[in-house]
């Protein structure tokens, strides 16, 4: 028993040591697995971190590239806008500004007739034979016994179904026929309306072309207005203009709104700075902005004159006057104002000799005798060669308005002495110190006036021509000779009619102003209106 007990104790101790070894081994294996799992987890975390950092780096790089591209796009956009402004004149030289009257016609063809999907397939009429074929034939037993009732009953039922189907077909066919007729009538009505519209448009265009070629002033004005409407300028240009046509002097007068100096991009270059994550702007120099804006003003004037002369396919124009204005808020008064920056009168033969593709616009305008603002970027105004209202036919057509204002008679009905007094009083009302002289033998009036303004003032010779016909160059030469003899600083020729192109050409570059009948009426009505207001 003692020996058995000792063996049992030894076995127990052996079992304990075995279990301890197994537990230690299990612990060692567990620690090793845990370490392995931890190592794998750490490797995965490090890989994920590397991927995250790589992703962040890629995203950062992509962001930097996007910002760099944004800066480059802004720079390219600025350069393109500048290029558009620098090529305002060149852009129109490749365009034929004449309006093809046939382009105003309706060129579309009326679509061919078509059937709606639900009417395309015709309805099939029912077949009696098909209905009867569905009736089962008499069986051998029925034939042997002479039984007919079932077969006759089936035949009668088939006949009834056929008749119902035929009736339904007739109703559906009638509805389809009505729909076809309605659709056809609608198509024919729409086609007739379209053809009438095409014919009306053709008649209108033919009438417009005939009226234009005949030289109707309103139609010529409309045609010139259409020419300017088709002229496409860079973005930011105001699309506002007015056109008048004076048939007596074959002269077009245009007023066009010019863009303000902010049309010139204020930034030369955009550059992305990584350290600050900002896009820096390199401003354009004020002198460069002013220079480019002066080019815009000059090119716009030459472009407009070119477009009107080139489009003159019926040869109605000898002269073209362009007045360019801007609208702005006066910084010293805070009031809205309209400032004339450029005014030029061009003779068609002389202008057509100019190679606009090679000229320097500002110098070309100086050669044409244009009045150009010395600093258009500062809105320094110039005096228009001719006020638009002096040339607007809607104003000139109201020539008999003088009869209704203070019962004043028609200008041509005035006696020479009355006409002399009228002209002298007009310029006196305008601020000149006038002294009437003897009437000339041709019925006009000569007057000497003095502009009392310091520096700008001086002696002014005024001569009037109460003519019904066009005033030629000889009258302008006479006035110029009188200016030289009198030592005058300026000469003004007032006429009740219009001037020829040779008269305007002679006056170019000389301190002379030619006022035609429309301009005289404008000045008189404005003075009368101001007098009434006072």
Q: Give the count of domains, the chain.
A: 3
Whether 4 maps to a domain, the answer reads no
Could you report the per-residue pLDDT of 43-56, keeping only the tens digit for each?
Answer: 888 888 888 888 88
Return d(Cα 170, Cα 123) in angstroms, integer.
10
Mean pLDDT of 220-237: 94
Whether 10 maps to a domain, the answer reads no
73 and 119 share one domain: no
440 and 326 share one domain: no
CATH of the domain at 518: 3.40.1350.10
151 and 262 share one domain: no
End-to-end C-alpha distance for the chain, whole angstroms: 152
Q: Which two tokens stand for residue 246?
A: 């004076």
341 and 251 share one domain: yes
27 and 149 share one domain: no
Whether 264 maps to a domain, the answer reads yes
Could you report the per-residue pLDDT of 103-114, keeping only the tens digit for each?
Answer: 999 989 999 988
Q: How high is the pLDDT of residue 534?
A: 39
Higher pLDDT, 260 or 470: 260
387 and 282 share one domain: yes
278 and 323 share one domain: yes
In whole angstroms, how far apart are CA 324 and each of 258, 321, 370, 493, 527?
Answer: 6, 10, 11, 25, 25
Higher pLDDT, 146 or 491: 491
Mean pLDDT of 516-524: 75
Could you report the per-residue pLDDT of 166-191, keeping only the tens digit for each?
Answer: 888 888 888 888 888 888 899 999 99
Q: How high is the pLDDT of residue 532?
A: 43
Question: Would you say residue 141 has pLDDT above 50?
Answer: yes
Question: Would you say residue 77 has pLDDT above 80?
Answer: yes
Residue finishing a domain among 213, 246, 268: 213
Long-range own/partner contacts, residues 254-257 (CB < 8 A, 24 or more apart): 254/224, 254/228, 254/304, 254/308, 254/320, 254/321, 254/322, 254/323, 255/323, 255/324, 255/325, 255/388, 256/228, 256/300, 256/304, 256/322, 256/323, 256/324, 256/325, 257/324, 257/325, 257/326, 257/327
Surface-to-core class of residue 110, CB atoms within 10 Å of its CB (0-12 exposed, 13-18 middle, 19+ buried): middle
510 and 477 share one domain: yes
Q: Which two tokens stand for residue 102?
A: 């046939």
Could you report the per-residue pLDDT of 459-514, keeping only the tens digit for each?
Answer: 788 887 777 777 888 888 888 887 887 778 888 888 877 787 788 888 877 888 88
Contact 249, 516 (CB under 8 A): yes
Q: How high is the pLDDT of residue 480?
A: 82
391 and 408 share one domain: no
Whether 370 maps to a domain, the answer reads yes
Whether 229 maps to a domain, the answer reads no
428 and 529 share one domain: yes
Q: Which two tokens stand for residue 251?
A: 């002269």
Return d(Cα 360, Cα 267) in angstroms, integer.
25
Return d(Cα 81, Cα 404) in angstroms, integer.
53
* Residue-by-residue DSSP string for 57-114: HHHHHHHHHHHHHHHHHHHHHHHHHHHHHHTHHHHHHTS--S--GGGGS--PPPPPP-
Whether 523 maps to a domain, the answer reads yes
Whether 63 maps to a domain, the answer reads yes
Q: Other CB atoms closer than 10 Å to residue 46's CB: what's the count?
A: 10
- DSSP code for 146: T
Q: Considering the chain, what percentage of its residues have pLDDT values greater than 90?
A: 40
Residue 223: in which H helix or E strand, if any?
Answer: helix 217-229
Angle at 300 between CA 224 and CA 385, to 5 degrees: 75
Could you report the per-residue pLDDT of 282-333, keeping only the tens digit for each?
Answer: 999 999 999 999 999 999 999 999 999 999 999 999 999 999 999 999 888 8
Q: Other CB atoms closer than 10 Å to residue 520's CB: what's the count?
A: 21
Question: Would you say residue 454 has pLDDT above 70?
Answer: no
Q: Other CB atoms closer than 10 Å to residue 123's CB: what's the count?
A: 14
Could you report the per-residue pLDDT of 357-411, keeping only the tens digit for each?
Answer: 999 999 999 999 898 999 999 999 998 888 887 665 544 443 333 344 444 446 6
Residue 347: strand, helix, or coil: strand
109 φ, ψ (degrees, to nearest 5): -100, 140
Domain coverage including residue 110: 103-213
Residue finishing a domain among 345, 371, 397: 397
136 and 93 share one domain: no
Whether 218 maps to a domain, the answer reads no
Residue finishing a domain among 397, 421, 448: 397
Return d(Cα 534, Cα 523) in angstroms, integer.
16
- CB contact set of 106 (below 8 Å; sequence gap of 6+): 197, 198, 201, 202
351 and 369 share one domain: yes
């Amino acid at each position: 028993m003692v020996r058995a007990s000792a063996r049992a104790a030894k076995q127990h101790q052996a079992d304990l040591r075995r279990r301890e070894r197994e537990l230690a081994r299990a612990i060692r294996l567990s620690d090793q697995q845990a370490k392995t799992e931890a190592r794998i987890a750490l490797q995965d975390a490090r890989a994920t971190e590397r991927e995250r950092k790589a992703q962040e780096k890629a995203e950062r790089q992509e962001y930097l590239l996007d910002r760099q591209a944004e800066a480059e796009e802004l720079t390219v956009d600025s350069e393109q806008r500048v290029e558009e402004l620098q090529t305002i004149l060149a852009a129109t030289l490749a365009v034929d500004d004449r309006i093809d009257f046939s382009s105003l016609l309706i060129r579309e063809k009326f679509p061919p007739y078509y059937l709606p999907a639900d009417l395309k397939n015709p309805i099939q009429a029912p077949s009696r034979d098909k209905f009867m074929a569905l009736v089962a034939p008499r069986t051998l037993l029925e034939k042997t016994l002479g039984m007919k009732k079932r077969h006759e009953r089936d035949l009668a039922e088939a006949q009834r179904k056929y008749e119902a189907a035929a009736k339904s077909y007739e109703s559906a066919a009638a509805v389809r026929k009505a729909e076809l007729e309605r659709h056809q009538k609608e198509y024919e009505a729409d086609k007739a309306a379209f053809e009438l519209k095409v014919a009306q448009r053709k008649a209108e265009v033919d009438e417009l072309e005939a009226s234009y070629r005949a030289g109707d002033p309103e139609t010529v004005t409309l045609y010139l207005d259409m020419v300017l409407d088709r002229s496409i300028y860079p973005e930011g240009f105001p699309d506002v203009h007015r056109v008048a046509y004076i048939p007596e002097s074959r002269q077009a007068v245009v007023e066009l709104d010019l863009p303000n100096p902010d049309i010139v991009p204020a930034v030369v270059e955009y550059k992305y700075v990584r350290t600050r994550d900002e896009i820096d702007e390199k401003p354009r120099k004020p002198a460069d902005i002013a220079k480019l804006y002066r080019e815009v003003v000059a090119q716009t004037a030459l472009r407009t004159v070119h477009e009107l002369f080139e489009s003159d396919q019926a040869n109605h124009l000898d002269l073209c006057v362009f007045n360019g204005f801007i609208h702005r808020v006066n910084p010293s008064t805070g009031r809205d104002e309209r400032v004339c920056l450029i005014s030029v009168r061009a003779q068609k033969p002389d202008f057509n000799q100019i190679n606009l593709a090679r000229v320097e616009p500002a110098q070309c305008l100086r050669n044409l005798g244009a009045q150009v603002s010395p600093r258009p970027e500062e809105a320094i105004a110039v005096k228009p060669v001719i006020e638009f209202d002096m040339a607007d036919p809607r104003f000139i057509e109201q020539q008999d308005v003088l009869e209704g204002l203070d019962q004043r008679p028609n200008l041509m009905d005035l006696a020479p002495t009355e006409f002399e007094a009228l002209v002298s009083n007009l310029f006196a009302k305008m601020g000149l110190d006038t002294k009437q002289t003897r009437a000339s033998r041709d019925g006009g009036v000569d007057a000497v006036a003095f502009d009392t303004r310091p520096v700008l003032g001086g002696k002014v010779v005024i001569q009037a021509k109460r003519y019904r016909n066009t005033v030629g160059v000889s009258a302008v030469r006479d006035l110029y000779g009188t200016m030289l003899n009198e030592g005058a600083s300026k000469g003004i020729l007032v006429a009740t009619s219009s001037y020829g192109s040779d008269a305007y050409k002679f006056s170019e570059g000389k301190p002379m102003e030619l006022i035609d009948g429309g301009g005289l009426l404008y000045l008189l009505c404005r003075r009368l209106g101001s007098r009434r207001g006072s």
